Structure 1
Amino acid sequence: MALTTVLEILDLKGLLLFVVAFLVVADFLKHRKPPNYPPGPFSLPLLGNIFHIDSKQPHIYLTKLGRVYNNIFSLRLGRDKVVCITGYKMVKEALVTQAENFVDRPHSPMQERVGGSNVGLFSSNGEMWKKHRRFTLSTLRNFGLGKKTLELAILEESRFLLDEMDRQKVTGQHWPTLTAIRYKTTETTQNIFFCVPQKKEKVEKVQEEIDRVIGQSQELSLANRANMPYTDAVIHEIQRLGDIVPLNALRVADKDTTLGKCFIPKGTAVLPILHSVLFDENEWETPYKFNPGHFLDKEGNFVRREAFMPFSAGKRVCLGEQLARMELFLFFVSLFRKYRFSAPEGEKFNLDGVMGITRTPHPFKIHATAR
């Protein structure tokens, strides 16, 4: 009786070992890499690299891996494989130079269950995506994009915000958070108040330029931007350091191709790491410091930088970029023309940010004082 029980236990263990061995071998065969496929860190059978990634700061971890693997590497996330690309040159190669090959999104079973397949501007592909894109552009133009009417609407919104701030001061209410602004503009506006109060000398230079070009009585206009290179540079540097979309979104290779001498088979999911572009040590003189000089030449004129990609690049570049740039300039100048902003005594800023669909600052307090 005892012998029979022992044999049954051994048979059960043997069966389990066989099943595990079979699954491991099957997993290995299924995920064998083709010749010259991008290298990557060791992945666990069945699970891949899913437990290796820092869930709080994934963009930092992936950027560091990019330095190890010459800006292109592969990961396994469960049963799915993804190729990550980092650094300005590699990301530009995929999104701009090979734009047609990497314009589509990979198939997502979850997206299909939740919202259907090939729907929406973000998730659709092919002709459906082109239709959504044309419709979105048409709608933005109907709302006044590129016209004076939209500029006037943004200025009106900025006046509402200033009036609300004045009202709170008159009634004795403290203005400790960015609740009002959070609902009126973008995450980048939060970063304005997060970065700027810590750079007093740069704020003073911005306000000197505002006073010189516009003054306190002249009507603000987008046309002023051409004569305010330092202010424009500060806004761009805030966007760069703000890094609100550090991971971008997945693309898929439409055909067999190469990136950085690595073979990318058709159907491969590719993830561009925009954080690695905005902090590329080969493109930015002081990538980890707040430095408006990144966007100024020796004469103090504003200069565009190709590695400035907060809105992504190529055919899937954010269609709201022009609107966002209008809002940022008009809100920024309106607020800093009227107020001085400072951090309360003892307030410490957490620079890590909170990762979600976008990266936003941790909650913080700030003082606004009329100039």
Structure 2
Amino acid sequence: MIFQAFFDCMNFTSWLLLGFVLLILNDVIRNRRPRNFPPGPWAVPLLGNVFTGVDYKTMHELAQKYGPVFSLRRGSERMVFVAGYKMVKEALVSQLDSFVDRPIVPLFHVTFKGIGIALSNGYLWKKQRKFANTHLRYFGEGQKSLEKYIEVECNFLCEAFKEEQGRPFNPHYIVTNAVGNIISSVVFGHRFEYTDPSFRKILELDNDAVVLAGSAQTQLYDAFPGLMKYLPGPHQTVLANYREIVAFLNREIEKHQEEWNPDDPRDFTDAYLSEMEKKKEDPRAGFNIETLLVSTLDLIEAGTETASTTLRWALVFMMNYPEIQEKVQAEIDRVVGQSRLPTLADRPNLPYTDAVIHETQRVGNIVPLGFPKMASKDSTLGGYFIPKGTAITTILSSVLFDKNEWETPDVFNPEHFLDSEGKFRRRDAFLPFSAGKRVCIGEPLAKMELFLFLVSLLQRFTLTPVPGEMPSLEGVMGFIYSPEEFRMLAVPR
């Protein structure tokens, strides 16, 4: 009788309200914070902390409030964030076997599919990364050809700057094309002219995708992919851009398949095609056309966007700090002079220049949150319990600006990398490429590019701002942290 009376008094609105309350209760019960899990801000039922911006400045504030290990919730997924040099080192180095896997990031999973080099796991990842490392060395550092590729491209880049004839210009895609040509030469065996409209379009699509991937709207896709894939928004642009980029790379691979000679591998792609034949009996290693396509995308992105963005930050800093630019040029004039091109052998004799490049990477802070990893087993970090399968993000910007590690963390100061005698010194808290087993695969190439490109430019030009248009030191936060668009003058020396 009581239940009958209850049902009789319920109308549609009452049933709707009851359903919502039960849904909330179910969410609260299912998503209770695990025992001894890292603390964090209160999560809205069903939504979690979707209204908390996942940008490095917000993460720094949360670390100040909750400590160096804290958590957020996106939808039903809990994420752990790690801040400060000591705790990040603990996660990446001391416990490198605990946090080596990659979680599924829905926005990127649509394109990268958990294969390739950057976002794969387990046996496949080990085999793909080992192959990439071996053959990048074979077609690069091992034969000294990478340095030659870069030296040739330095001439093209300097000629492009010279063609501006001292007029104001935006260096964005000239620089990106130059950097992209290095990894293209390794992967595909050729470069692209700066006037090539197809490659310029790919660079623009990739840049837009990288910027949009860090927006708050796009990050909603990772929290609610089942819903967001049907809704309009910047995430749709990211996915569409990647489809065009993949189609472009696929055409390059098809050309290689048509011309492939197993007895004469010209580049990384040819070598991969040969490896596909050798690994037919080991399908778990993933050597197939689909993985080659994703691996190529990994290498092109890793070898283009980050290094070119760092180089653009270097241009910004040189214009904002002309006294530093003058000291770099004086050192270059003294060691290299004007009669020959710089080489990597000059680096030990250019400590101040090397310090400026390292400080550019530190303050440029282009990948402030790194890329998330995942606990491969139940672990403990900072005294907190991290269950297997939990996504964990090391806040690299908190290391690069750690007040306990840097004398003047918020100031562009090349002295951070010089000892009392003016010699270059390494710093343990210099982790722009991350660390551990997932350290950026493009680190050696990026270091070579930054040195040779910047020294070549400063050897030949004085970089100055357009009058009244000083480039901003505040960047644009996307998936990477990049300078605002700017124009400049390149005055021949």
Q: Same fold (TM over 0.5)?
A: yes
Q: Which residue of 2 aligns with 1:181?
A: 175
Report the secondary structure of 1:52's partner residue: coil
Tell whether the 8 Å contact from 2:375 to 2:392 is kept in structure 1 after alignment: yes
Contact 1:176 1:367 in 2 (8 A): no
Q: 1:108 to 1:203 in 2, by over 3 A?
A: closer
Match of 1:43 in 2: 43
Letter in 2 for 1:181: V
What corresponds to 1:358 in structure 2? 480
Check conservation: 1:229, 1:302, Cα contact below 8 A: yes
Superposed, 1:80-229 pairs within 5 Å as 80-108=77-105, 113-116=110-113, 118-169=114-165, 174-185=168-179, 186-229=308-351
Q: Assess, with a 3 A threshold, how the Cα gap between structure 1 residues 237 and 9 changes in structure 2: closer, same or farther.
A: farther
Q: Distance in 2 between matches of 1:367 and 1:62?
A: 36
The CA deviation at 1:175 is 3.2
Q: Distance in 1 between the 2:471 and 2:316 partners?
A: 8
Question: How far apart are the structure 2 equivalents of 1:34 and 1:236?
Answer: 41
> How much does 1:113 deviate?
4.8
Percent of residue pairs bearing the same amino acid type: 48
Q: How far is the alpha carbon of 1:354 from its aligned partner?
A: 2.0
Deviations 1:154-176 (A, max 9, x none): 1111011112222332xx86434
Cα distance between partner residues in 2 of 1:323 and 1:317: 13
User: For residue 164 of structure 1, what is the amino acid of its counterpart?
Assistant: A
Contact between 2:341 and 2:456, CA under 8 Å: does it hold in 1? no
Aligned residues: CA RMSD:
1.9
- Equivalent-residue separation in structure 1 for 2:439 and 2:147 (angstroms): 22
Q: Which of these residues, 33, 41, 58, is aligned with residue 61 of structure 1?
A: 58
The match for 2:452 is 330
Q: Which amino acid aligns with 1:65?
A: L
8 A contact 2:100–2:373 mirrored in 1: yes
Note if contact 2:463-2:488 (Cα within 8 Å) is conserved in structure 1: yes
| Residue type at the aligned position of 1:46 | L
Q: Counterpart amino acid of 1:106? A: P
CA distance in structure 2 between the aligned counterparts of 1:74 and 1:357, rounded to whole angstroms: 20
> 1:304 — aligned with what?
426
Kept after mapping to 2: 8 A contact 1:105/1:250: yes
Say which SS state the counterpart of residue 121 (structure 1) adopts. Answer: coil
User: Closer, same or farther in 2 for the Cα pair 1:225/1:164, shift >3 Å?
Assistant: same
Deviation at 1:348, TM superposition (A): 3.7
Partner amino acid, structure 2, of 1:75 = L
Shift of 1:85: 0.8
**Deviation string for 1:186-227 (max 9, x for gaps)?**
211111111111111111111111111111113421111001
> How far 1:68 moved relative to its partner?
1.3
Report runs of 4+ in structure 1 exceeding 4 Å deviation. 7-10, 108-115
Which stretches in structure 1 are left out of the alignment for 5+ residues?
1-6
Aligned to 1:347: 469
Separation (CA, whole Å) in 1 of partners of 2:140 and 2:480 = 26
Q: Indicate the residue corresponding to 1:257 in structure 2.
A: 379
> Which amino acid in 2 is paired with 1:277?
V
Q: Which has the higher helix share?
A: 2
Once the two structures are superposed, residues 235-264 of structure 1 have per-residue CA deviations (whole angstroms, 9 ceiling, x without a partner) of: 000111111111111111111111111111
